[in-house]
């Protein structure tokens, strides 16, 4: 393989990494936790080598893609995105004893690493969220109106889509109206719901603002 071909192969690999990273971002919504999860790197590494191997196969066997073959960039793009399609494909599927459909093919291997990364991510994120919520709970008052909390969050986070806003609203209302044996369980659940969208620091600031508003109102009424 020539130096130029190596560069184009690496470009194909970079496309593979970008596709894998975009999938992880779509699931986790943050760069920080992706970068501290070792299985995220394994997942992107598989995408990288899949794209590189696809480029090498195209060059070695002179696969014909029409006018695209005239340009190395075109072949690198075909290899990069084509490998992503192949890695997410399955040769056939069958139903196991539990009537669950099992896909057999490259997608099976890729999904194993993705699920493993997702499981570890959930463990890391849940641990950090619980530590943050323990700090927030002492300030959280369950007399907070659901509409006020929803309005503050949606105004503070302009990037939330309409679907995310509706989902957040429904989860907050269901949590505040839900039946819990202990008030502390309601607080923790509400914290877990909100922090999923806002992150710990923003949620803490929102609670502080609400508490500040209540204290200000009490000072005005007492005066």
- Spatial contact of 20 and 44, defined as CB atoms under 8 Å apart: yes
Q: How far apart are CA 159 and CA 172, in angstroms?
A: 19
Q: Which one of 34-38, 77-81, 84-88, 125-129 scores highest in mean pLDDT?
A: 77-81
- Which residue did the predictor score with more confidence, 92 or 165? 165
pLDDT classification of 27: cutoffs 50, 70, 90: confident
pLDDT of residue 20: 86
Q: How far apart are CA 148 and CA 145, in angstroms?
A: 5
pLDDT above 60 for 221: no
Residue linked to tokens 């909100």? 194
Scored b (16 or more CB within 10 A) or e, 132-153 reads bbeebeeebeeebeeeebbebb
Task: Please give the structure tokens belonging to residue 32.
Answer: 């920080």
Q: How far apart are CA 40 and CA 150, in angstroms?
A: 32
pLDDT single digits (tens) 158-183: 888 888 888 988 988 888 888 888 87
Q: Where are the alpha helices (DSSP H) in the chain?
A: 3-28, 31-35, 38-60, 72-87, 106-137, 146-156, 162-177, 183-198, 200-222
**Packing angle of the helix pair 183-198, 200-222 (nearest 10 deg):** 120
Please state the rounded mean pLDDT for residues 119-143.
Answer: 75
Run of H or E residues at 188: helix 183-198
pLDDT above 50 for 62: yes
């Amino acid at each position: 393989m020539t130096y130029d071909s190596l560069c184009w192969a690496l470009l194909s690999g970079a496309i593979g990494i970008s596709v894998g990273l975009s999938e992880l971002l779509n699931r986790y919504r943050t760069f920080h936790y992706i970068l501290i999860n070792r299985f995220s790197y394994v997942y992107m590494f598989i995408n990288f080598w899949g794209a590189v191997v696809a480029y090498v196969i195209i060059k070695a066997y002179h696969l014909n893609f029409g006018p695209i073959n005239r340009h190395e960039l075109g072949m690198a793009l075909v290899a990069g995105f084509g490998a992503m399609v192949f890695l997410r494909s399955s040769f056939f599927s069958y139903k196991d004893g539990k009537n669950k459909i099992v896909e057999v093919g490259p997608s099976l291997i890729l999904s194993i690493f993705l699920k493993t990364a997702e499981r570890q991510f959930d463990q890391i994120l849940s641990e950090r969220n619980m530590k943050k919520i323990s700090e927030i709970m002492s300030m959280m008052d369950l007399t907070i109106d659901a509409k006020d909390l929803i309005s503050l969050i949606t105004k503070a986070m302009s990037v939330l889509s309409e679907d995310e806003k509706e989902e957040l609203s429904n989860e907050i209302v269901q949590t505040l109206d839900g039946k819990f044996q202990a008030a502390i369980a309601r607080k923790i659940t509400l914290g877990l719901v909100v922090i999923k969208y806002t992150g710990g620091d923003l949620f803490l600031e929102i609670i502080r603002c609400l508490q500040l508003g209540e204290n200000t109102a009490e000072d005005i009424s007492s005066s």
